[in-house]
Amino acid sequence: MFKCKQFTVKQDLAAMKVSTDSLILGSWSQLADLLDEDDNKLNSASSLAASHHVLDIGTGTGILSLMLAQKTQASLSPVYLDAIELDSAACQQAEDNFINSKWRDRLAVRQVNFFDLQQSDYYSWAIANPPYFSSDNCSDQQRQLARQLQGNSWSDWFTQCHLVLKNKAKLEMIIPADIADKLVSIAGEKGFNLIARLDIMPAPNKAAKRVCLRFEKSADQINHYRCESKFDREPAYQQQSLLIYQQDNQYSPAYKALCKAFYLKF
Kindly indicate the confidence band of residue 222, based on its pLDDT and cuts at 50, 70 and 90. low
Mean pLDDT, residues 89-100: 96
12 versus 66: the higher-pLDDT residue is 66
Do the domain assignments include residue 19? yes
Residue 39: predicted pLDDT: 64
Residues 6+ apart with CB under 8 A from 95: 62, 109
Do the domain assignments include residue 83? yes
Do the domain assignments include residue 266? no
The CATH number that applies at residue 11 is 3.40.50.150
Crossing angle of helices 31-43/63-71, nearest 10°?
Answer: 40
Identify the weakest region by mean pLDDT among 6-10, 203-207, 217-221, 232-236.
Answer: 232-236
Do the domain assignments include residue 161? yes
Closest to 221 measured CA to CA, from 148, 149, 160: 160
Residue 45 pLDDT > 60, yes or no? no
Identify the weakest region by mean pLDDT among 164-168, 178-182, 218-222.
Answer: 218-222
Mean pLDDT, residues 250-264: 96
Do the domain assignments include residue 149? yes
Task: Dump pLDDT digits (tens) for 108-142.
Answer: 999 999 999 987 889 999 999 987 654 444 455 55
> pTM of this prediction?
0.87
Do the domain assignments include residue 145? yes
Do the domain assignments include residue 96? yes
51 versus 92: the higher-pLDDT residue is 92
Domain count, the chain: 1
Mean pLDDT of the chain: 86
Residue 218 pLDDT > 60, yes or no? yes
Mean pLDDT, residues 223-248: 70
Do the domain assignments include residue 265? no
Domain that holds residue 61: 2-42+50-259
